[in-house]
């Protein structure tokens, strides 16, 4: 069986190290004895989203986000269809802001009901989040300049660090099998459980009979546990 | 009178600070509290040079000071102090007499890129040098485009800009401006036609986001480029490295002057060029600059040679959270072409602030170590798992790689199992953890 991955806007929405997500996903899918094709596409390159089993976009600078917006608007219907058909997508950093109605005054895709406003100052923070979809906490780093207010299903609850906006203790959006979070960089390398969850859903969506075979990844697990304990210590120091 | 008092307080605090081993920001901080416009009341020399950018600030500032001092200039400089507004204030007040006159011919000021806009509220430099803008300490800097904008807020229209023409982002300060002097490295035998790094921040024009056209790369996104849409391009540099000979370790400047580099690295050649440009603009003869640059041995100890259990060893201090800095060290050791063991340590990401962010490891071209001369790679420190994860995808033979979370275990292994020369590549925050265990 063949799994097709789209690393969209790979060369622009790449704040730092986002390609690690694709590398590890590809490897772990191959460990499931699946054939994997990764397509890297960027602005002004035609794509047919329905060809894919997984779509990823990483974080970008504010200018690059606006630059990509001109391009991604062409895919409004295609992307809506993709997400509505419960196919899997992960948008990290400011890339998931594309899905809202507006970014500042500019029209965005409008697939989900939220608005993004740009802040005056940048916000950066190590974070610990938790989620009802996961047994363990999530670790990562947020590096953003935006505020989002919405009443959608959040992806995470904030345990340490910053969230979606000043008032709420939530972060990210989960809609069907679309996952959006401001955590930047190789989130899938640093959070083995999210990676496993995504692979399980990708397999399931591909073929109901395709069952994920549990595999232990010791190094990633140890790396995750170390970062979590570092961040927990930090959190306790601060309290 | 009040000004004299503040100067006195600042000088006194500086002296006390020196004795008790405190940093250089506190006196300036207090001076600015007493009078936030204190620097506006000081009579400053006409020649003020400010050096900012992501990498190479300290080296460039040091070289500028050295050339000027050796040529009889009385120079005030903050290379040994803080490069934020307070530290700069401390340094300037230290150079003052009680009448509020700076008794120096030239002030050479290294400025943190995030603080330049604050520092330059108080005085107008004649020259502003921007060495380059790279991905650097993103956990607090955000990203290079943001730093570009933040620096821009501080740039005074009257200042002469001294810019790296090979860097499409920082050279953009000179776009459609007259008062600009460029330095750069011409295409040479080390240049490549393709960008082989894991990311390319020069792919799109920073001005208009059109696909940038590159004729060659010197490293990363540093090279010869032009934008067919807005015309932003590498301008012909007034100060250029016209040839590089890594065999002899010599660079040629403006087809005329050969200078041998203490460290055979093109990265450092850019710092030399920037120093050459500024000191020449201030009025030092080219020949005299060349002789100082030739004799000059860096004061900073970023590179240290030593022996370890019969192996020649070298510490190549590289900045965590700065992939270009790491690439610089990796490129250097591979180009040396000696059988070697490479030790990489990530134990504390920063010595100044807390973070567990290691995404930057994915931006480093560890693929460079896929070379026959690299016999063994030792990964170590608290974040060894993150290093290992990155190396999973670097396409390097697994047999060459060992990993230790514990640094004593690492040292035992390095001492017993190293092959060839040893290169220790790590940051200020972690290097003593190696050096002290020798």
Could B383 and A223 be called an inter-chain contact, meaning their C-beta atoms sit closer than 8 Å?
yes
Here the tokens at position B387 are: 């290093």
pLDDT for B298: 65
pLDDT band (50, 70, 90) for residue B260:
confident
- Residue A210 contacts B where some CB pair is shorter than 8 Å: no
Top CATH class, A2-238: alpha beta
Could B142 and A124 be called an inter-chain contact, meaning their C-beta atoms sit closer than 8 Å?
yes
Counting residues of chain B whose pLDDT is more than 90, the rounded percentage is 87
Residue B215's SS3 state is strand
- ipTM exceeds 0.90: yes
Summarize the confidence of residues B69-89 as an average pLDDT: 92
Here the tokens at position B89 are: 């204030």
Q: Identify the CATH homologous superfamily for domain B303-435.
A: Mur ligase, C-terminal domain (3.90.190.20)
Strand partners, A56: A7, A90
Residue B267 has pLDDT above 70, yes or no: yes
Expressed in angstroms, the distance from the first to the final Cα of chain A is 50
Q: Exposure of B350 by Cβ count < 10 A (0-12 exposed, 13-18 middle, 19+ buried)?
A: middle
Residue A163: CB atoms within 10 A of its CB come to: 23
Residue B259 has pLDDT above 70, yes or no: yes
B83-129 per-position pLDDT tens digit: 999 999 999 999 999 999 999 999 999 999 999 999 999 999 999 99
Could A185 and B143 be called an inter-chain contact, meaning their C-beta atoms sit closer than 8 Å?
no
| Sign of the alpha-carbon torsion through A108, A110, A115, A121 | negative
Helix, strand and coil in chain B, % to nearest 5: 35, 25, 40
Of A63, A126, A223, the CB nearest to B389: A223
Distance of CA B424 to the CA centre of its chain: 19
Do A54 and A5 meet the contact criterion of CB atoms below 8 Å apart? yes
The answer to whether B2-295 and B303-435 have equal CATH topology is no
pLDDT for B299: 65
A111-163 per-position pLDDT tens digit: 999 999 999 989 999 999 999 999 999 999 999 999 998 899 999 999 999 99
Summarize the confidence of residues B393-397 as an average pLDDT: 95
Q: How many residues does chain A have?
A: 239
A12-33 per-position pLDDT tens digit: 999 999 999 999 999 999 999 9
Residue B1 has pLDDT above 60, yes or no: no
Fold of the domain built from segment(s) B2-295: 3.40.1190
Question: Domain map of chain B by residue range?
Answer: 2-295, 303-435
Could A20 and B393 be called an inter-chain contact, meaning their C-beta atoms sit closer than 8 Å?
yes
Counting residues of chain B whose pLDDT is more than 70, the rounded percentage is 98
Residues of A with Cβ-Cβ distance to B359 under 8 angstroms: 16-17, 20, 141, 184-186
Q: What is the mean pLDDT of chain B?
A: 94
Distance of CA A112 to the CA centre of its chain: 15
Could A16 and B200 be called an inter-chain contact, meaning their C-beta atoms sit closer than 8 Å?
no
A64-120 per-position pLDDT tens digit: 999 999 999 999 999 999 999 999 999 999 999 999 999 998 999 999 999 999 999
- Residue A234 contacts B where some CB pair is shorter than 8 Å: yes
Question: What does each C-alpha distance from A105 to A66, A101, B377 come to in angstroms?
Answer: 12, 10, 51
C-alpha angle B51-B55-B60 in degrees, rounded to nearest 5: 45
pLDDT band (50, 70, 90) for residue B424:
very high
- Residue A227 contacts B where some CB pair is shorter than 8 Å: yes
pLDDT band (50, 70, 90) for residue A165:
confident
- Residue B18 contacts A where some CB pair is shorter than 8 Å: no
Q: Could you give the CA distance from residue B225 to residue B171 in angstroms, rounded to a whole number?
A: 11
Could A67 and B145 be called an inter-chain contact, meaning their C-beta atoms sit closer than 8 Å?
no
Q: Measure in Å the smallest separation between the Cα of A123 and chain B Cα atoms.
A: 8
Cβ-Cβ contacts under 8 Å for B330 (sequence gap 6 or more):
B342, B364, B365, B366, B368, B369, B425
């Amino acid at each position: 069986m063949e799994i097709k991955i789209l690393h969209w806007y790979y060369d622009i929405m790449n704040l730092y190290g986002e390609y690690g997500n694709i590398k590890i996903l590809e490897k772990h899918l191959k460990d499931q004895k699946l054939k994997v094709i990764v397509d890297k596409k960027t602005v002004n390159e035609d794509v047919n989203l329905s060809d894919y089993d997984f779509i990823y976009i990483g974080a970008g600078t504010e200018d690059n986000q606006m630059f990509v917006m001109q391009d991604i608007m062409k895919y409004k219907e295609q992307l809506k269809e993709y997400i509505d058909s419960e196919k899997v997508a992960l948008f990290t950093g400011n890339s998931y802001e594309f899905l809202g109605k507006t970014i500042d005054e500019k029209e965005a895709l409008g697939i989900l009901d939220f608005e993004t406003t740009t802040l005056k100052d940048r916000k950066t923070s190590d974070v610990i989040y938790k989620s009802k979809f996961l047994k363990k906490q999530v670790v990562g780093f947020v590096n953003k300049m935006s505020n989002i207010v919405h009443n959608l299903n959040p992806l995470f609850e904030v345990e340490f660090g910053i969230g979606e906006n000043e008032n709420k203790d939530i972060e990210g959006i989960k809609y069907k099998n679309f996952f959006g979070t401001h955590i930047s960089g190789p989130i899938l390398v640093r959070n083995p459980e999210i990676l496993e969850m995504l692979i399980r859903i990708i397999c399931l969506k591909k073929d109901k009979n395709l069952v994920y075979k549990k595999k232990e990844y010791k190094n990633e697990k140890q790396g995750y546990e170390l970062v979590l304990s570092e961040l927990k210590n930090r959190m306790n120091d601060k309290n | 009178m009040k000004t004299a008092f503040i100067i006195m307080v600042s000088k006194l605090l500086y002296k006390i600070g020196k004795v008790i081993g405190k940093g250089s920001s506190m006196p300036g901080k207090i001076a600015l509290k007493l009078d936030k416009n204190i620097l506006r009341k000081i009579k400053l020399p006409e020649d003020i040079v400010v050096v900012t950018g992501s990498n190479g600030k300290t080296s460039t500032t040091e070289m500028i000071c050295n050339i000027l001092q050796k040529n009889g200039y009385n120079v005030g400089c903050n290379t040994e102090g803080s490069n934020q507004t307070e530290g700069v204030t401390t340094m300037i007040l230290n150079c003052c007499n009680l009448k509020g006159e700076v008794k120096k011919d030239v002030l050479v000021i290294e400025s943190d890129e995030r603080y330049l806009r604050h520092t330059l509220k108080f005085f107008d430099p004649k020259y502003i040098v921007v060495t380059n803008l790279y991905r650097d300490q993103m956990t607090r800097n955000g990203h290079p485009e943001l730093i570009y904008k933040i620096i821009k807020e501080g740039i005074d229209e009257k200042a002469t800009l001294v810019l790296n023409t090979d860097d499409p982002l920082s050279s953009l300060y000179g776009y459609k401006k007259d008062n600009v002097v460029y330095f750069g490295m011409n295409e040479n035998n080390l240049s490549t036609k393709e960008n082989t790094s894991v990311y390319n921040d020069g792919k799109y024009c920073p001005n208009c986001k059109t696909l940038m056209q590159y004729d060659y790369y010197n490293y990363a996104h540093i090279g010869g480029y032009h934008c067919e849409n807005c015309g932003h391009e590498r301008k012909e540099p007034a100060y250029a490295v016209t040839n590089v000979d890594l065999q002899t370790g010599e660079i040629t400047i403006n087809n005329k002057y050969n200078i041998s580099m203490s460290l055979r690295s093109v990265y450092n050649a850019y710092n030399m060029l920037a120093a050459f440009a500024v000191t020449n603009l201030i009025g030092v003869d080219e020949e005299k600059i060349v002789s100082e640059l030739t004799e000059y041995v860096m004061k900073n100890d970023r590179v240290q040679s030593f022996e370890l259990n019969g192996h020649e060893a070298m510490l190549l201090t590289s900045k965590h959270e700065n992939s270009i800095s790491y690439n610089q060290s990796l490129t250097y050791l591979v180009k040396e072409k000696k059988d070697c063991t490479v030790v990489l340590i990530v134990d504390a990401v920063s010595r100044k602030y807390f973070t567990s962010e290691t995404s930057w490891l994915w931006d480093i071209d560890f693929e460079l170590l896929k070379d026959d001369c690299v016999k063994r790679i030792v990964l170590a420190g608290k974040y060894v798992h993150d290093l290992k994860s990155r190396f999973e995808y670097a396409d390097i033979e697994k047999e060459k790689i060992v990993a230790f979370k514990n640094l004593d275990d690492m040292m035992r292994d390095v001492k017993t199992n190293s092959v060839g020369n040893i290169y220790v590549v790590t940051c200020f925050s972690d290097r003593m953890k190696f050096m002290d265990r020798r």
